[in-house]
Amino acid sequence: MEIRRVAVIGAGVMGAGIAAHISNSGIPVVLLDIVDGGAASRSAIAEGALAKLLKQQPAAFMHPHNARLISTGNIEDNLGLLAECDWIIEAVVERLDVKQSLYSSIDRVRKPGAILSSNTSTIPLQDLIAGLPTSLAQNFLITHFFNPPRYMRLLELVSGEETRTEVVSAVRDFADRALGKGVVQCRDTPGFIANRIGIYWIQVAVTEAMALGLTVEEADAVVGRPMGIPKTGVFGLSDLVGIDLLPHLLKSMLRTLPENDSLRGCAEVPELIQRMIAAGDTGRKGKGGFYRLNRAGGGKLKESIDLESGEYRPTREAQLASLSAARSGGLSALLAHPDKGGEYARRVLLRVLSYAAGLVPEIAEDIPAVDEAMRLGYAWKYGPFELIDRIGADWLIEQLERAGTPLPTLLQSVRRRSFYRTVDGILQYLTGEGQYRELMRPEGVLLLVDIKRRSKPLAGNGSASLWDIGDGVLCLEFHTKMNALDPDILAMIGKAIEIIPQRYKALVIYNEGSNFSAGANLGLLLFMANIAAWNQIEEKVAEGQQIYRAMKYAPFPVVGAPAGMALGGSCECLLHCDAVQAHSETYMGLVEVAVGVIPAWGGCKELLQRWVLNRLRPGGPMPPIVKCFETIATATVSKSAAEAREYLFLRPDDGITMNRDRLLTDAKARALALSEDYQPPEFNEMHLPGATAHLALQMAVKGFRLAGKASAHDETVSLALSSVLSGGDCDITDALGENDLLTLERESFMQLVRMPLTLDRLEQMLETGKPLRN
């Protein structure tokens, strides 16, 4: 079964978001909702939803052009459009009668074999299909997306006894490859996996924080990073999703939960939260939440609510001895600490982890499904069973027995063992029967973490490693903090250039960090500048230029495989690759001007040449210079891989992979394809206008400065960039080669880095993560 056209019925926040993300895969979508009788257009609801999607931030579309793939309508006039659709997704109000009435209408127009699924999170599948024709039940399942659909990778899939295997396979494959989802098969139980555990975790974490007298800052600091949970913690997360949503989720869960479920014992909504909801303090979408920005007097003061008094006060950093212990000793040190932070961590983890252990196999067939659902649905770094392994199953069992808490069967089976283990380089997990089974990846998934379990690097240092990923392809992995580029990474690129021609075919530059790379190591640059090591700085700039150039002209293909941020020097690295296979959520940009310098590892040269050779650009020498200048001078960062093509950070033929787990496989395939009869690229000499172009850009920058849109230092940096892109003192008749442009980059960089205001910006960036505007 092939899915070529999709329909979404229900143009609310979720339905519209699902439609937008399906369009991101290049698939046409029909978006329908009810008729708005009071509007000029009978399809006003769906049309309005599409208009909102185009304005939404963070963007629902990977490129605004994707909106053209969505056709809007209403269920009274346009239901016939479903006859052309292979998959129909229902995302209407959570009322069984409404859904079943809609299914009957859909069944009259859908084509034979068309799939129907519900995005419900509260109604059991068996209730949804009760009384419906067998032919519909065979093609029915639940596909529970998480909000926002573009950014949340989890898709929970629930099939019924009558659901055809082909239907499950078709949706799973499409969601995996086309939508980039991590598809987790769930049992037909309340809340499925992620919300069943996640709602319990939120409720426990909130009520225990109040019981122990913690501040919201202390609670979020304890259940956040030390546990591998986003720094928003539990109160910040509640603000993000909406505080008023929790009572609704609890109410829907309580309708269908087993009578003995532990959530029933802590499901009461605290009085403070009830008052906050009544007052409109529902989080970021309201007047504020557990945190808020007080804009009184034109200022921006971050405040936090006092969990006892309900009054707001200035936010203050959590200062607990247990948190200090956790920074050096990890989660185990936090759990062992006697202060209230340690007590809070113990109470939350003991309850949540034992609860999760007691839900298998009720909610899922195995523990990897549970762990993946929590990683992808709640952005936990570790799932509950991975957390148990980190703190020690025996420690958890001892603590539960000491507290008199009954042990779930699954926990009893893991005494003196772990839920995961590695044998001969193969990752295995513990089954409900107490036996270990190999963890199988989906077909076509290649992960570096698996390769690292069964092999050792060919070469490596503290910043980077070279791995053999098979078939004659090596993988260069960065592993510094934020994958920031430093001399050791450059040295490892040089090592790859030395090793590969001897016995290998190609190189892939890839890692499995949250971000490909945040750029060059600014701390090292600032240190060298503060001791006036100008010659050494220039040597490092020249070294980067030489390494990237050697990589570009190496006798083998190099494929970059970024995901997440690829900024500054790492964007320059990708610009020098023969090809890029990017994850769809890749955010590329040459952002050096934000700290008062310009790209100097060949980034200006490479991007300028792409614009010069771009066949779609206007004629004449100025348009490519202007486009390149606008992109670099404004520190433009693409909001997706698709948008990166628009800025020419990616070429038209560079690939985009929707599912990050498939990125390395796709990059390796691209590298092998390029290795056949490979010939290094050639650099096309450029003819640039020199002073003429520089003067034109100078006038434009001066206008921005006078209008108050740029600071004096912005003007200085922009003029240095303008000089490089214009070709310096050249004439239009001069042919400029790579060395000429690299020299211009290096000289301009060195002029800027010596300026005190540049050093101020560097220091500000390192301290706050935001550049100083001066």
Q: pLDDT tens digits for 234-262?
A: 999 999 999 998 899 899 899 999 999 99
Q: Apex CA 567: angle with CA 236 and CA 147, to 5°?
A: 35
Q: Identify whether 681 is preceded by a cis peptide bond (ω within 30 of 0).
A: no
Q: What is the mean pLDDT of the chain?
A: 95
- Does residue 467 carry a pLDDT above 70? yes
Average pLDDT over residues 541-551: 98
Amino acid in position 323: L
- Both 649 and 692 in a single domain? no
- Both 33 and 46 in a single domain? yes
Average pLDDT over residues 628-656: 97
At 770, is the pLDDT very low, low, confident or very high (cuts 50, 70, 90)?
A: low
Average pLDDT over residues 193-214: 97
In a domain, 434, yes or no: no
Question: 10 Å Cβ neighbour count for 404?
Answer: 6
Strands 558-560 and 564-567: unpaired
Sheet of 436-438: strand order equals: 420-423, 426-430, 436-438
Average pLDDT over residues 320-349: 97
**Final residue in a domain of this structure, among 162, 185, 208:** 185
In a domain, 441, yes or no: no
Number of domains in the chain: 4
**Final residue in a domain of this structure, among 185, 204, 225:** 185
pLDDT-above-70 percentage for the chain: 99
In a domain, 60, yes or no: yes
Residue 55's pLDDT is 96
Provide the H-helix boundaries in 475-602. Answer: 487-503, 522-530, 534-552, 569-575
Q: Indicate which CATH number applies to the domain containing 61.
A: 3.40.50.720
- Does residue 578 carry a pLDDT above 70? yes
In a domain, 389, yes or no: yes
How many CA atoms lie less than 13 Å away from 41 in the CB half-sphere? Answer: 10
- Both 558 and 541 in a single domain? yes
In a domain, 428, yes or no: no
Q: Which pTM value belongs to this model?
A: 0.95
Q: Indicate which CATH number applies to the domain containing 409.
A: 1.10.1040.50
For residues 582 and 641, is the Cβ–Cβ distance under 8 A? yes
In a domain, 55, yes or no: yes
Angstrom distance (rounded) from CA 333 to CA 328: 8
Cα 308 from chain centroid (whole Å): 36
| DSSP letter (8 states) at residue 65 | G
Give the pLDDT confidence of 733-750 residue by residue, as tens digits: 999 999 999 999 999 999
Q: Alpha-carbon Rg of the chain, whole angstroms? A: 28
Angstrom distance (rounded) from CA 754 to CA 367: 56
- Both 653 and 527 in a single domain? yes
What is the span of the domain harbouring residue 703? Answer: 596-635+685-774
- Both 620 and 544 in a single domain? no
- Both 220 and 308 in a single domain? yes
- Does residue 299 carry a pLDDT above 90? no
- Does residue 188 carry a pLDDT above 90? yes
In a domain, 423, yes or no: no
Q: What residues contact 441, with CB distance under 8 A and at least 6 apart?
A: 447, 450, 661
Residue 705's pLDDT is 87
Task: Pull the structure tokens for residue 540.
Answer: 């490092």
Residue entry with tokens 């109000």 = 93
- Does residue 771 carry a pLDDT above 60? no
Residue 767's pLDDT is 73
- Both 467 and 508 in a single domain? yes
Angstrom distance (rounded) from CA 444 to CA 250: 39
- Both 82 and 160 in a single domain? yes
At 298, is the pLDDT very low, low, confident or very high (cuts 50, 70, 90)?
A: confident
Residue entry with tokens 């650009």 = 617
- Does residue 136 carry a pLDDT above 60? yes
383 three-class SS:
coil
**Final residue in a domain of this structure, among 418, 440, 463:** 418
At 616, is the pLDDT very low, low, confident or very high (cuts 50, 70, 90)?
A: confident
Angstrom distance (rounded) from CA 770 to CA 763: 10
Residue 619's pLDDT is 87
Q: Indicate which CATH number applies to the domain containing 568.
A: 3.90.226.10
Identify the weakest region by mean pLDDT among 265-269, 436-440, 762-766. Answer: 762-766
At 758, is the pLDDT very low, low, confident or very high (cuts 50, 70, 90)?
A: confident
At 563, is the pLDDT very low, low, confident or very high (cuts 50, 70, 90)?
A: very high
597-635 b/e (C-beta count within 10 Å ≥ 16 → b): bbbbbbbbbbbbbbbbeeeeeeeebbebbbbbbebbbeb
In a domain, 440, yes or no: no
Q: How far apart are the first and last CA of the chain?
A: 59
- Does residue 723 carry a pLDDT above 60? yes
- Both 272 and 341 in a single domain? yes
- Does residue 728 carry a pLDDT above 60? yes
Q: What residues contact 631, with CB distance under 8 A and at least 6 apart?
A: 590, 607, 647
- Both 644 and 613 in a single domain? no
- Both 562 and 670 in a single domain? yes
Average pLDDT over residues 49-66: 97
At 774, is the pLDDT very low, low, confident or very high (cuts 50, 70, 90)?
A: very low
Sheet of 473-478: strand order equals: 459-460, 464-468, 473-478, 506-509, 558-560, 579-583, 655-657
- Does residue 67 carry a pLDDT above 50? yes
- Candidates 140, 149, 124; CA nearest to 90 is 140
Angstrom distance (rounded) from CA 169 to CA 3: 11
Angstrom distance (rounded) from CA 688 to CA 338: 69
- Both 257 and 392 in a single domain? yes
